[in-house]
Amino acid sequence: MSQATQADFFQGHPYIEEVNALEKRHTDRRDFHKAVEPVLVKMGRDKAFLSKVIERNFTDEGWLNFDWSDYNIPFFYVHETDDYILKIHLFPAGGADTQHYAAHAIHHHNNYILTTYAFFGSGYESMLFDKDVTVDERSLKSSMRVNKHFHQKDWNPSRVDSWEPHIVFLPESLSATFLMWSPDVKRKTDALRNNRLLKPFKKELRHLIYRLGMGDKLGIAREKTYQFYVDSGTVQAISEEDYFSKSRSANGPKEKEYAMQMIFSFLQRSGIGSAIQLAPLIENTERPDYFKTWFDRYLKGEEIPEVLHRYKLNIPNDSYTKQDIIHACS
């Protein structure tokens, strides 16, 4: 999707205008996130608006032909500016008796704040950790402390601060969240993130910024960023690059089928959008087979089986649990 197209999503809509007004009013980004919470709730509860979100994505070539991989959480675009991003994320269920398993590694979102409103499904359990993580650079053994342990149903909307490690556990049922991202500080350089002329040189520019020691000032990810997991009773670090390399490269037909099945399972179970409204939007257009397979079943009203989370995905020792974390961080 082009940045111009995504920015045009719901431009001028009352909800977006309300978010824009709050963004201008609150220069402190955490105050901005707190003020936006009621708007996220309104959007997540407005089925007509959510249906429009689905329709808009079904008219967008970027979303319709997205290169889904194991790295991507299935999503719908809502709106984006240089100051914030609004999206819907989907989280598959873990299956019977798997809610104590971690969905992925313990991680943070660098300099981004994330506020999430769970509006469909069971929601998930989560933990937040203190930011002062210590890592032995040779063994990669790490020390972490749990700061907050909660379930979305008890703290909704919820928030993850910038640089705050956190973990999500497998939800009981397919769940969806309405979320907002934003940098933790408003910077004059924020608009450069989406500059089309600079994007082809992103890797080279990042290396230059690191050499100049300006990463934190410009709000980009630190040069050495870790994810964490529990192995044999201890917290272990793994470089983000090593952690994600496998999932980023897993973008074949199987991964795309998985994402599409989850998306259409969500549409069918949530009742958001309708086949009658969506069918004309992609009429007489060429679509990938992985899209057509599940869309055709959705149109015919055939039950779409629920997709289950692959809880061993990307974790070096296959999996770890809530109790493993509590034990390792006590």
pLDDT band at 191; cut points 50, 70, 90: low
Distances (CA, A) of 297 to 11, 55, 66, 267, 280: 32, 18, 20, 12, 16
Average pLDDT along the chain: 88
pLDDT band at 154; cut points 50, 70, 90: very high
**Residue 194 amino acid letter:** N
The model's pTM is 0.88
Q: What are phi and psi of 115, to 5 degrees?
A: -115, 130
Rg, C-alpha atoms of the chain: 20
Q: Which tokens in the block code for residue 250?
A: 């897993």
Q: Which tokens in the block code for residue 65?
A: 């032909």
pLDDT tens digits for range 95-125: 888 889 999 999 999 999 999 999 999 999 9
Q: Is 110 left (phi over 0), alpha (psi -120 to 50) or beta?
A: left
Distances (CA, A) of 186 to 6, 33, 109, 205, 264: 21, 13, 16, 20, 37
pLDDT band at 178; cut points 50, 70, 90: very high
Residue whose C-alpha is closest to residue 306's, from 179, 178, 177, 171: 171
The span from the first CA to the last CA of the chain, in angstroms, equals: 45
pLDDT band at 208; cut points 50, 70, 90: low
8 Å CB contact between 109 and 219: no
| Rounded Cα gap, residues 19 and 40, in angstroms | 9
8 Å CB contact between 303 and 85: no
pLDDT tens digits for range 255-294: 999 999 999 999 999 999 888 888 888 776 778 888 999 9
8 Å CB contact between 131 and 97: no
| Rounded Cα gap, residues 144 and 312, in angstroms | 22
- Identify which has the larger pLDDT, 318 or 267: 267
